Amino acid sequence: MKISTKGRYGLRAMIDLAINSSEGCTSLADISHRQDLSLNYLESIFSYLKRAGLVVGIAGAQGGYMLAKPADEITLYEIMTVLEGSMSVYDSFGEETKIRSFLNRNVWDVIDKNVNEVLTGTTLADVLKNMETSRLSGDCSGL
């Protein structure tokens, strides 16, 4: 499995949005500037996130984006599947052989299970808390 630029940038943008959620709406231009991401690319990413109900767009001079739900109700799994689709490391197409069947059960399914556990068990609020803990302990610079 390789996470695409869309997934990596989208996750960074959602974390930035969660960090700045106390300020109300956040413009994509501000996220773009803080995260050094292309504004045009962010607009495309946020169209997916908006359709999925993860963010709300507010029009107008003071507009921008807000999380559609509290940060503790948005999992990384929701974000990543919206932007990446299936998070599986393999596909189930093709002829079933003994080796393929063994690998599916004992390698690929195990990896998929662990990835899903991490992504479904981690919310944006968890990420913010972990970032704050890392910052306080000096493990994370340049947040």
Residues 18-45: what's their mean pLDDT? 94
* pLDDT score at 63: 86
Q: Which helix (H) or strand (E) holds 65?
A: strand 64-67
Q: Residue 143 above 70 pLDDT?
A: no
CB 49 within 8 A of CB 82: yes
Q: Write down the architecture of domain 5-137 according to CATH.
A: Orthogonal Bundle (1.10)
Q: Which CA distances in Å does 23 have to 64, 97, 132?
A: 11, 56, 18
Residues 114-143: what's their mean pLDDT? 85
* pLDDT score at 24: 84
CB 76 within 8 A of CB 127: yes
Q: What are phi and psi of 58, to 5 degrees?
A: -115, 120
Q: Residue 21 above 90 pLDDT?
A: no
Q: pTM of this prediction?
A: 0.86
What are the pLDDT digits (tens) for 87-124? 888 876 767 889 988 998 999 999 999 999 999 999 99
138 pLDDT band (50/70/90 cuts)?
A: low
- Of 55, 60, 49, the C-alpha closest to 71 is 55
Give the chain's radius of gyration (CA, Å).
18
CB 54 within 8 A of CB 86: no
Q: Residue 43 above 80 pLDDT?
A: yes
